[in-house]
Amino acid sequence: MVSRGPRAVEVVLSAEERAELTRWADGAVSARAAERAQIILACADGVSNTAVAADFGVSAATVRKWRSRFAAQRLAGLTDAPRPGRRKSELVLSEAERAELTRWTRRAKTAQFLALRARIVLRCADGGTNKEIGAELGIAHNTVNRWRSRFVRLRLDGLTDEPRPGRPPSILLDRVEDVLTATLESTPGKDTHWSRASMAKHSGLSKSTIGRIWKKFDLKPHLQDAFKLSTDPQFIAKVVDVVGLYHHPPEKAVVLCVWTRSPRSRPWTAPSPSCR
């Protein structure tokens, strides 16, 4: 005598359930939910588990699973339960925050790392998982999660770099800019170029500090053949931006510098390592 196994759970639908399942099956929900709705509709029409499995290319065990889930929980049984794990931080922007973040992404002088973080937060506020946003921006989903969480805790202040441990800088950026401006756009009276001593006297900084600033920005005013003053009014800002790219490049980016010369310039010589 052949055992027929356990009897299939009977599925009886109300008019509302059949209408909703039909809507799901027509593509109103995800593909997985649509397939489950089609399985339940077939079961309600009296089709056996084996026949339903053959029609939809699934196993009979899968059909039994969704038949039983529907009989016990109705429509709610066909939806996916939330996966365990850490819930991502909810991110809601005020109008002022959105305006400021948008400004950071559009300003030419915004540091690239800050512009990227602003784009991450704006995209998180529009919805989507960390993986989706990471794939869209070309970064790791852990990076998205980090800046999402930082912004939720600290708001706009959380997107800037935290102060590094150690001795704080002894001079401010505006004084560094004063030195660069004087070095690149002027000469010390009758002399042809600035020296550490003359620049120290002019700026009120020490000669060693002047030396560190010039070294940081690869300035060599004593090399007259290679050193030229620029008439570009935005030259100082451009120098700071370009050097900043080398010291703080964007994530997963390559910084390139193109060496050019005019047709009337002297024969080409190899650029210094800092310009390669």
Instruction: Tally the residues of the chain.
Output: 276
Structure confidence by residue, pLDDT tens digits, 245-262: 555 555 556 666 665 555
pLDDT of 209: 85
- 130 pLDDT band (50/70/90 cuts)? confident
How much is the pLDDT for 127?
81
Average confidence (pLDDT) over 211-228? 71
Q: What are phi and psi of 48, to 5 degrees?
A: -70, 160
* High-pLDDT (> 70) share of the chain, %: 68
**Residue 77 Cα distances to 68, 74, 172, 220, angstroms:** 9, 6, 63, 74
Query: What does the CA dihedral 237, 240, 241, 242 come to, rounded to 10 degrees?
Result: 120
Q: pLDDT tens, 22-50?
A: 998 888 777 888 889 899 999 888 888 88
**pTM exceeds 0.95, yes or no:** no
Q: Which residues contact 99 (CB under 8 A, 6 or more apart)?
A: none
pLDDT at residue 226 greater than cutoff 60 = no
DSSP letter string over 45-87?
Answer: TT--HHHHHHHHT--HHHHHHHHHHHHHHGGGGGSPPPPSSPP
Given the structure tokens 């709705």, which residue do they identify? 37
Predicted confidence (pLDDT) at residue 18 exceeds the cutoff of 50: yes
What's the pLDDT at 121? 92
Cα distances (Å, whole numbers) of residue 267 to 222, 261, 273: 21, 9, 19
Where is pLDDT greater, at 219 or 14?
A: 14
Buried b (16+ CB within 10 A) or exposed e, 148-163: bebbbeeeeebbeeee
pLDDT, residue 122, reads: 92
Find, among 120, 123, 115, the residue nearest to 144 by Cα.
120
pLDDT at 248: 54
Average pLDDT for residues 255-273, to the nearest whole number?
55
Q: Which residues contact 78 (CB under 8 A, 6 or more apart)?
A: 24, 33, 36, 37, 40, 66, 69, 70
Q: Comparing C-alpha atoms, which of 105, 103, 95 is closest to residue 125? A: 95
Q: Give the pLDDT score at 235.
A: 56
For the ranges 99-103, 141-145, 177-181, which has the lowest average pLDDT?
177-181
Which long-range contacts (C-beta less than 8 Å, at least 24 apart) are formed by 133-142?
138/252, 139/251, 139/252
Average pLDDT (78-84) is 67
Predicted local confidence at residue 108, as pLDDT:
59
